[in-house]
Amino acid sequence: MSNVDVVVTGLGATTPLGGDVASTWDAMLAGRSGVSHITAGWAEQATVKIAAQLKVEPSEVLERVRLRRLDRSEAIALIAAKQAWADAGLEDAEIDRERLAVSFGSGIGGALTLLNQDDILEESGPRKVSPHTVPMLMPNGPAAWIGIDLKAQAGVHAMASACATGAEALALGMDIIRSGRADVVLAGGTEAVIHPLPFAGFANMRAMSTRNDDPEKASRPWDKGRDGFVFGEGSGAVVLERAEHAKARGARVYARLAGSGITSDGFDIVQPDPECKGGARAMTKAIRDAGLTGADIVHVNAHATSTPVGDMGEIVGIKTAVGTHPLLTSTKSMSGHLLGAAGALESIAVILAIRDSVVPPTINLDDPDDRLDLDVAAHKARSLDIPAAMNNSFGFGGHNVALVFTRA
Amino acid sequence: MASREEITSGLAEILEEVAGVNPDDVAEGKSFTDDLDVDSLSMVEVVVAAEEKFGVKIPDNEVQNLKTVGDAVSYIEANH
């Protein structure tokens, strides 16, 4: 436990469900799917022809010349970060920029730029490669651009822990505030690599759903018919703030980020530990860090990506670390899997669940796996008083991150 | 053979595309960096696009001498 309270004062997102947090949350509560057919020509030859694509294109938000210098993952990170900043009431606030940090990562980084510029290199030669290529593809690009935009001077950090990235970014943000290095941290994750190459790679791993004829039904965590995750793009951003700093400026507080737990499996580069031992240790650490016990956690937004192995392993871990009582959901059933942004978006879903006393649904859970013996908010959102809740995020490489949020 | 006016107008198109410069602001006396706010990376893009548009080669050691739009127009006029 830390004696420094960290609170959430701003939220931002652009996702397959909406161009901002309000529309994304409305879509989640309504149980809408953000998954659709890929209309680009390459999909015709691809094994997987569906994805959770952004509802609002960055070109509708940012200027054309600005977008020329940004990888798509950087553009949407900036969009989400600016929303969170404004939502926190910080646009016109006089805050000490030397006490403002950024903690923002991506699972794959600027791969779209790398691939697109490689096409230019092959077709037109090296002189035609954009001079903006390096800052567009570097994995710290999203964090760096946010830092420039907000004039953050307490450090800009970019993590890369695959699908645990967004959650790990929030955990580091909390640590930075607890350590006394900053008062405010803009934290989150971003991902935008809908392109035939990563699609071929993931498809050849047999990791993605091939339910091409019925996209909205493809992401179905814990359902017997699940056959892999649905690739998504998007970004989620959160303003974390030292509670006393937030109070002093009269900020609206959504929730406390009360605890985090980070572990690694030390097991396999892509397979999760089948008993979720590392995941369970992360959950236990997060609960202890928050000064709580498993009994206090009434809701878990699970990592559950809709893969045959991972979904059920996590259930074992939740029972070990939390118990059999929490009400679960997987919002990936609607948003798809946003990879490096998933942990940030799902943290936002937990924060709003606490605020609104409602658990968003897990859609498509028509025929639950026989081993699913915990309560899930299947099909419809469910009202629940939530003093404390948890978000789980796990990633290729054996990264496990659990975050505990409590009512402020 | 393009006239100076035609070259200036061609550069204005490139500057708008690459750096968002208002074509009305582009004139021979204007400095790329000080007046038109073209940063160093965008200047590289302008040069590559100008080479293609006007069929010239602009070596890197020549680019540093092209301070104003007029400098670039003169170079292109003399070399294309």
What digits encode the pLDDT tens for the residues B40-75? 999 999 999 999 999 999 999 999 999 999 999 999
Please give the helix or strand (H or E) that residue B34 lies within, else none: none
Whole-structure pTM value: 0.96
Structure token digits, residue B48: 């590559």
Q: Using CB atoms, which residue from B19, B20, B45 is nearest to A130?
A: B45
| Own/partner pairs, A261-267, CB within 8 angstroms, 24+ separation | A261/A285, A261/A286, A261/A287, A261/A288, A261/A289, A261/A400, A261/A401, A261/A402, A262/A168, A262/A171, A262/A399, A262/A400, A262/A401, A263/A400, A264/A397, A264/A398, A264/A399, A264/A400, A265/A398, A265/A400, A266/A398, A267/A398
Q: Residue A291's closest CA among A183, A388, A385?
A: A388
- Please give the residue range of the domain that contains residue B29: 4-79
- The answer to whether A155 and A176 are in contact (CB under 8 A) is yes
Report whether CATH 3.40.47.10 matches the domain A7-248.
yes
User: How many domains, in total, are found in chain B?
Assistant: 1
Asked if B18 and A65 come within 8 Å (Cβ–Cβ), the reply is yes
Rg (CA), chain B: 11
Q: Which two tokens stand for residue A236?
A: 């989620």
Predicted confidence at residue B80, as pLDDT, reads 81
Single-letter residue type at A372: L
B58: nearest CA partner in chain A:
A127
The pair of three-digit structure tokens given for residue A386, joined into one six-digit string? 């939530």
Evaluate whether A360 touches A377 at the Cβ level (below 8 Å): yes
Q: Which residues in chain B have their CB less than 8 angstroms from residue A113's CB? A: none
The pLDDT assigned to A275 comes to 86
The count of residues in chain B is 80
Q: What is the pLDDT of residue A2?
A: 78
Domain extents for chain A?
Answer: 7-248, 260-406
Two tokens, residue A194: 């809908």
Active site residue A163: yes
Residue B1 pLDDT exceeds 80: no
CB contact under 8 A, A131 and B41: yes
pLDDT tens, A234-257? 999 999 999 999 999 999 999 999
Closest residue on chain B to A134 (Cα): B41
CATH of the domain at B39: 1.10.1200.10
Q: Please tell me the predicted confidence (pLDDT) of residue A104.
A: 98
pLDDT for the residue A220: 98
Residues sharing a CB contact under 8 Å with residue A189, sequence separation 6 or more, in sequence order:
A104, A105, A106, A107, A165, A166, A167, A169, A235, A236, A338, A340, A341, A342, A343, A344, A345
Q: Is A376 exposed, middle or buried (0-12, 13-18, 19+ CB in 10 A)?
A: buried
Residue segments in chain A with a per-residue pLDDT below the cut of 50: none
Q: By C-alpha distance, which of A88, A61, A87 is closest to A76?
A: A61
User: Coil, helix or strand for B67?
Assistant: coil
pLDDT bin (cut points 50, 70, 90) of residue B4 is: very high
Q: Which CATH superfamily is domain A260-406 in?
A: Thiolase/Chalcone synthase (3.40.47.10)
Q: Are A71 and A141 in contact (CB under 8 A)?
A: yes
What does the pLDDT look like over A66-123, one tens digit per residue? 999 999 999 999 999 999 999 999 999 999 999 999 999 999 999 999 999 999 999 9
Residues of B in contact with A65 (CB under 8 A): 18-20
Question: What is the least distance, in Å, from the CA of B74 to any CA of chain A?
Answer: 23
The contact set of A with B (CB < 8 A) is 63-65, 68-69, 127-128, 130-132
Q: Which two tokens stand for residue B26?
A: 């582009």
Quick one: pLDDT at residue A51?
A: 98
pLDDT of residue A227: 97
CA proximity to A34, closest of A47, A12, A19 = A19
Cα separations in angstroms, A132 against A71, A114, A149: 9, 11, 17
- The burial of A204, by beta-carbon neighbours within 10 Å (0-12 exposed, 13-18 middle, 19 or more buried), is given as exposed
pLDDT at position A88, please? Answer: 98
Taking contacts as CB-CB distances below 8 angstroms, the residues of chain B near A63 are: 20
pLDDT score for A205: 93
> pLDDT (tens digit, 9 = 90+) per residue, B18-45?
999 999 999 999 999 999 999 999 999 9
- Common-topology check for domains A7-248 and A260-406: yes
The closest alpha carbon to A382, from A362, A366, A368, belongs to A362
DSSP letters spanning A39-73: -SGGGGGSS--EEE--SS-GGGTS-HHHHHTS-HH
Which residues, at least 6 apart from A166, have a Cβ–Cβ distance to it below 8 Å? A105, A188, A189, A236, A338, A340, A341, A342, A343, A344, A345, A346, A347, A393
Residue A15 phi/psi, 5-degree rounding, is: -140, 175
